[in-house]
Amino acid sequence: MKRTFFVGGIIYLIVGLGLQPSVTSVQAETPLKAKPVINNAKKPSPTAKQPQIELLNPGTGAKQQLRFKPPVKFKQAAIMTMNMDMAMSIAGQALPAFKQPATVMTLQTAVTKIAPNGDIHYEFSYSDIDFVGDTNLPPQVLNTVRSQIQNIRGIKGSAIVDNRGYTRKVNLVLPTGLDPNLKQMMQQMSNSLEQLSSPLPQQAVGIGSRWRVTSTVNINGMNLKQIATYQLVNLKNGVATLNIGVEQLASPSQKLTAPGLPPGVTLTLKSYNGKGQGQAIVPLNKLMPIRSTMSLRSNSEMTQTNPGSVEETPINQKLSMTMSIESK
């Protein structure tokens, strides 16, 4: 769940967590195996492409290149809050809806070096994480998951991004004995953030400028294409305000490979689409937005096939997510 840089991390979190329930919840809600799972994930494909950026409109008025320039030793703390709700049906029968509590996480960052080419080296750590708010999850499930995510506290790492926001490298230091599910989630996020950066355009831009960032990543066997569109609506004293639109697409017939599925059980994607929007207020002399909001709604259809059977059980899911960041 790291906030590697700017809104790239925001969108990745929504991508990663937004897709995971479509696999893991199937295990929890069907008679296959009642086993609480948090965000199982497979490492993304090493062939995933670097994000592509296209300037759609240079904007009006005075133009300038947008570049990140935080000073060395600059420190920043951010509080991230995420809410998620989901509705699911299996073989046409709706499952009881469950409301997850909000996840609240505190991230600490510190700039350690600015390279001659403008690359920004920084360290990060998770100082706190917990669930807050109402939920109808069974207490034993909630307590199990809460005890697992507490292991995120104290996890540290480092990253390198260029001054346009491309993530060049992420190093994550995981403690020994970490829960395998949590370890997989953290490793996937570390790898995928290098493919889901949200870079600024190369060209000088003005108010009203728009650019599009296209990214691909593999999550649980699903090759996902994400198209994020940014519009610069304000720029004053080095603080940019960006409106963000997100579209997510995935081709059908993909085999999903969620860890924890019983042997021989197959999940096949039939369709997936997601759309979201948000806004970020981004000081160019800092690592993270001082304020950001993002929401996403997605629909997915898949089928489940059990060992020795050719019968396919249809599974439908609707997911809504919101996420906010406040930093100092």
Segment 98-110 shows an average pLDDT of 87
For residues 107-117, give the mean pLDDT: 95
pLDDT in tens, 190-249: 655 555 567 899 999 999 999 999 988 777 677 889 899 999 999 999 999 999 999 999
Mean pLDDT of 41-52: 52
Where is average pLDDT lowest: 6-15, 169-178, 310-319? 6-15
pLDDT for the residue 48: 46
What is the model's pLDDT at position 29?
33
Q: State the pLDDT at residue 6.
A: 33
* C-alpha–C-alpha distance, residues 230 and 241, integer Å: 10
Residues 35 and 170: their CA atoms lie apart, in Å, by 31
* % of the chain exceeding 70 in pLDDT: 77
Of 111, 119, 124, the residue nearest 163 (C-alpha): 119
Strand-pairing partners, residue 156, are 125, 173
What 3-state class would DSSP assign to 58? Answer: coil
Instruction: Indicate whether 189 pLDDT > 80.
Output: no
Residues 132-166 pLDDT 10s: 888 877 888 888 878 877 877 888 889 899 999 88
Q: What is the pLDDT of residue 7?
A: 34
Per the rule left: phi > 0, alpha: psi between -120 and 50, beta: everything else, 143 is alpha
52 within 8 A of 298, measured Cβ to Cβ: no
Residue 260: is its pLDDT beyond 80? no
**More confident of the two residues 301 and 140:** 301
* 15 has a pLDDT exceeding 90: no
What is the rounded average pLDDT of the residues 63-88? 92
1 three-class SS? coil
175 pLDDT higher than 90 = no
- The pLDDT of residue 13 is above 70: no
pLDDT band of residue 69 (cuts 50, 70, 90) is very high
